[in-house]
Structure 1
Amino acid sequence: MDPPPNPNPNATDAQPQAEAGVRLAALSLRGGRDLPPDFEIHEHHLDDDDDDDDDDEGYLTAASRGGSSTCAWKGLRDDDRDGDGDDVSPPSPSSSGYAGERGSSLDDDPDPEPAQDWPRNKKHLDEDDASSSWRKRKKHFFILSNSGKPIYSRYGDEHKLAGFSATLQAIISFVENSGDHIKFVRSGKHQIVFLVKGPIYLVCISCTEESYEGLRGQLELMYGQLLLILTKSVNRCFEKNPKFDMAPLLGGTDAVFLSLIHAFSWNPAAFLHAYTCLPLAQPTRQAASAVLQDVADSGVLFALLMCEHKVISLVGAQKATLHPDDILLLANFILSSESFRTSESFSPICLPRYNPMAFLYAYVHFFDEHTYVTLLTTRSDAFYDLKDSRSLIQNVLLKSNVLIEVQRSLHESALHVEDLPIDPSSQSASQPPQSSQDMSSQSLSSEMAIGGPAGLWHFIYKSIYLDQYVSSEFPSSISNQKQQKRLYKAYQKLYASMHDKATGPHKTQFKRDDDYVLFCWITQDFELYAAFNPLADKTQAIKMCNRVCQWVRDLENEIFVYGESALSWQYHHCWGGK
């Protein structure tokens, strides 16, 4: 879709630099002094009981995800729409500093007003690189500019880490001045991964034994989250002023980045580059998709109905495609901002995989605690049209009982390995011995009890054609968060080794250690990652993987969202398994 023409392309150039700086400063989500009166700023904080330690940080639920300061427009009453006066129209996001339509960008002018002491919803602000507690953190993330100015740090106050940021910048510049590019540095158990994106540098320092490819992918997502808030047009600010301070523009978004960092430990979408769907009966999903399609045909670019991070239905305008990474970043932005849950919101956002240079406009409305609709458009004046579309969607969802079915599925429709159908011919096969080890143990040892048939504990299945995945629930043998995080890290390493360009790609991998048996199988249609009891028999494990693929095929209409193109599914058997 081509961007709409700019009616006055030279208007920006005609404005004084001081005025442009004020508009640029208005991009900050920290405060509302530059926002129009119809916008309201909400400040929320992460729950105090969220553990920030790398080994103990839990999976953030909807209730525990903190909110950032977000511009949320409180919709006017319907009877105000026909009133007189200029103030009855919804304020355009461009009036809060977000520029223009798709294809428009930030003004590339000097620094905005100096940042004040805004409240921060981040822990450990008293730490810096001289603190022993800061140095003991297992995983750091930093964003800085090419002049060495700190933009974001997972731990500590960015201003106190200015010297450390300058050191990171000096390392990158030293290597670049020699005509090379730095990728990573290993020092003992620590790995330092660098990602250079024009004038913006991203760095991860980790001793979590994750692969370089995995950490680099996480930095790419961090950069994508930054672009979702500011767009890539912020680079022009650095072209005008190399010492431009970008940190004020990201004020109040600590919770957004922290939520994304937590997702690296529990959400397979972060390394699979695929999205997952809420299991629903086919007629229920079709009812939701039909009304979203009607809305998309009326001029909406993308319409998404989601339950937490799971997609219920997704519809796009003709020839418009939404990348799974954009879905992940958009859902993270919405779910980590409490104001979206409490108000009817109309906010400018950027989809970095769709167009990193421009803003779209997102109308977000929560139907209940978990279910929400997001309507994306290129028009900054589309609030009332999208409000009417949302009303239509809500009426259809209520009449067809979609919302009731969504709540039922949220609590009842998860896949459990214990429910995996068994081929009658394999029921007499020997099973690995079951252990009497205490289930509360935190180590995944060989004495653990069996979760499913043939010792199957967990699996992740990705449809390559659909860019969607489905995963099973964790059994009692992987009962706590440390065990689950350890398994996800093992999956990440397995994914990286299977897709290693230097030695692969590979089709199958079978790995046994003291914790579990890992099996990966990749075809042209799907990828399967499975974890078994460490005593699982190899032949039986392979047969169970074939059964998992058949099971997914039997449930495909309930667990996947299909577009207009029919899926040509070619079922394979691995190594002759039946």
Structure 2
Amino acid sequence: MIQSIFSDEHTVVFLQKGPLVFVSVSATRQSEQQLRRELLHVYHQIVSMLTQASINRIFERRKNFDLRRLLFGSEKVLDGLLDVMDSDPSFMLSAVQCLPLPSSSRDALSHILQKAITPDLVFSFLIANNRLVSVVQEKTVLEDARLKPSDLHLLFNLIRASAFQAGEIWMPICLPLFNHDCYFYAYVAYLDPPECTVCLVLLSTDKEAFYAVAECKRKIEEAFASQNALQWVANTQLYYVDDISVANLRHFLYKPSKVLDHHRQLPQFTCPEMEVGYRSQEERIRLLDPYRNMHNRIHSTSRPLKLIYHSAGKETLLAWVTSKFEMFACFTPLVTKKSAISELTKLLRWIKKEEDRLFICHLPKYSTAPQPGRSSTDRGSSARPNTSDTGLLSLL
């Protein structure tokens, strides 16, 4: 079976997943492994809409079935995924980017989400401008079935492609790395129309739970209004490299590895807003290309590296990986290796100081099981999530 083809100007990579074959033709400097991972994201996006079990069952019955019939209308979702992978480093880093927010504000938002629950509700997300603000989950979610960044990337992309401005959406979605054969039912609504920058996503295992989940959203809106919580998100201060006072620095990507347990639960990264020279789509892609090249060399299976210093015509780049973090940084031209490492040491001190603001430092949990001494009217229902086809345990 052909895995890849290399020519002077192009790399052709193949990926077969069951009855489906994916092909990537690239003129970038991405490695074969990186291109195959991108194809895997495309496959997972298709699975998120159909489930792996459904795809396999269809082709077992009809080997010549045209899958485009089932994917009709989803072209915008797949095109959006391909576009965002060109310029979003979260796919390369296998991590999610959080909205910088004071820890006290983030905790207060999470507490509101924890209080608005209903049976079979598994995850509650608050998203702003495609960045994660807060996430809470049901306590019975098993450790080996925990949320993966790739699933969040697919969920974010599906929301972007929906492009609705007001109202609410109730749709089935499969999270392939959580369970590739079952659906969640996603309730999606913006909390700040007409701006539509703050999005609430509630995932349930009960396809009949729309009205119960919509009631959770109403409670969240009331709590937000009483505390003026949307202003906390609206007034958050995004940061630029000029705010850090690191000489000659233009941009960086920072992903903690084994600092605290919460980073293993949900890998995260942070980076500053792009400066003027990198704000166009073309310039963002041009910067991400050498980042990808260094990422591939750093994580090479045959010859992994710890440090890469690369001086190019328009910038100097440095990749640095330790047991605690991985860092990819872009400096002005002519910066020496010694100077770059010295400046990154200052940057690490700043990140450590701002850690509680830049990252979600713990994943709050809630329980949809009835509490001793509480009546069923306190929660709307006293029944635990069952093990039927729409129950949480069937997903796990």
TM-score range, shorter chain: 0.7 to 0.9
Q: Bigger relative contact order, structure 1 or 2, given CA contacts below 8 A and separation 6+?
A: 2
Separation in 1, partners of 2:212, 2:117: 12
The 1:283/1:297 distance shift into structure 2, 3 A limit, reads farther
Render the CA deviation track for 1:104-157: whole Å, top value 9, x for unaligned.
Answer: xxxxxxxxxxxxxxxxxxxxxxxxxxxxxxxxxxxxxxxxxxxxxxxxxxxxxx
Matched, 1:198 2:18: yes
Partner-residue secondary structure (3-state), 2:309: strand
Indicate yes or no: 2:268 matched with 1:468.
yes
Determine the structure 1 residue equivalent to 2:137. 316
Tell me how far 1:261 sits from its aligned partner: 0.8
Paired residues of 1:316 and 1:322 also in contact (CA < 8 A):
no
Q: Which residue of 2 aligns with 1:238?
A: 59
Could you tell me which residue of structure 2 aligns to residue 545 of structure 1?
A: 344
When the two structures are superposed, what TM-score results if normalisation uses the length of structure 1? 0.59
State the partner residue of 1:334.
159
- Sort the Cα spacing of 1:298 and 1:240 in 2 relative to 1 into closer, same or farther, 3 A: closer
How far apart, CA to CA, are the structure 2 residues paired with 1:323 and 1:212? 23
The count of aligned residue pairs is 349
1:296–1:316 Cα contact (<8 Å) kept: no
CA distances 1:501-558 after superposition (whole Å, capped 9, x unpaired)? 1112x22211112232111111222111101112112222111111111111111111
Quick one: percent identity of the two aligned structures?
31
For 2:278 and 2:188, how far apart are their aligned partners in 1? 36
Distance 2:168 2:148 in 1: 25
**2:355 counterpart of 1:530:** no
TM-score by length of structure 2 reads: 0.85
Q: Over residues 452-487 of structure 1, what are the superposed CA-to-partner deviations in whole Å (9 max), with x where a residue is unaligned? A: x43111001112241000001222343533222111
Task: After superposition, give the CA deviation of every residue in 1:5-64 in whole Å (9 maximum; x if it has no partner).
Answer: xxxxxxxxxxxxxxxxxxxxxxxxxxxxxxxxxxxxxxxxxxxxxxxxxxxxxxxxxxxx
Q: Which deviations, in whole Å up to 9, do the C-alpha atoms of 1:304-346 show, x marking residues without a partner?
A: 000131001011112532111111100100111124x333111
Counterpart amino acid of residue 197 in structure 1: K
Structure 1 counterpart SS, 2:294: helix
Matched, 1:406 2:205: no
The alignment partner of 1:503 has SS state of: coil
Give secondary structure in 2 for the equivalent of 1:454.
coil
Distance 1:304 1:184 in 2: 39
What is the RMSD of the two structures over their aligned residues, measured on CA atoms? 1.6
- What SS does the corresponding residue of 2:182 show, helix, strand or coil? coil
1:291 and 2:112 correspond: yes
Separation (CA, whole Å) in 1 of partners of 2:311 and 2:119:
54
Judge which range, 482-491 or 222-231, deviates more: 482-491
Residues in 2 aligned to 1:512 and 1:221: alpha-carbon distance in whole angstroms = 32
Task: Check if 1:377 corresponds to 2:170.
Answer: no
| Residue-by-residue CA offset, 1:375-400 (whole Å, 9 max, x unaligned) | 10111111111011111111112222
For the 8 Å contact 2:136–2:363, the answer to whether it is kept is no
More strand by share: 2
Partners in 2 of 1:417 and 1:455 — Cα distance? 9
User: What is the Cα deviation at residue 208 of structure 1?
Assistant: 2.2
CA contact (8 A) 1:287 1:400 kept: no
Deviations 1:182-220 (A, max 9, x none): 221012311111011010111111112322122111111
Contact 2:125 2:201 in 1 (8 A): yes
Name the residue aligned to 1:457: 250
Q: Aligned partner of 2:212: which letter? A: D
| 3-state secondary structure, aligned to 1:278 | coil
Matched residues in 2 for 1:396 and 1:525: separation? Answer: 38
The equivalent position to 2:278 in structure 1, one of 464, 478, 485, is 478
Q: What amino acid does structure 1 have at the position aligned with 2:199?
A: Y
Partners of 1:295 and 1:303 within 8 A in 2 = no
The one of 383, 398, 418 aligned to 2:242: 418
Q: Which moved more, 1:455-464 or 1:470-479?
A: 470-479
In the other structure, the counterpart of 1:69 is none
User: Does residue 87 of structure 2 align to residue 262 of structure 1?
Assistant: no
Residue 270 of structure 2 aligns to a residue in which SS? strand
1:252 aligned residue? 73
Answer yes or no: is the 8 Å Cα contact 2:120–2:205 preserved in 1: no
2:301 maps to a residue whose letter is: K
Match of 1:390 among 201, 214, 217: 217
Aligned-partner SS, 2:235: helix
Deviations 1:156-192 (A, max 9, x none): xxxxxxxxxxxxxxxxxxx3xxxxxx22101231111
Distance (whole Å) between structure 1 residues aligned to residue 152 and residue 26 of structure 2 = 26
- Does the CA contact (< 8 Å) of 2:316 and 2:330 recur in 1? yes
What corresponds to 1:558 in structure 2? 357
- Ranges in structure 1 where 5+ consecutive residues have no aligned partner: 1-174, 176-181, 422-452, 566-578
Q: Which amino acid aligns with 2:356?
A: N
Give 1 or 2: higher helix fraction.
2
Q: Sort the Cα spacing of 1:559 and 1:296 in 2 relative to 1 into closer, same or farther, 3 A.
A: farther
Contact 1:498 1:507 in 2 (8 A): yes
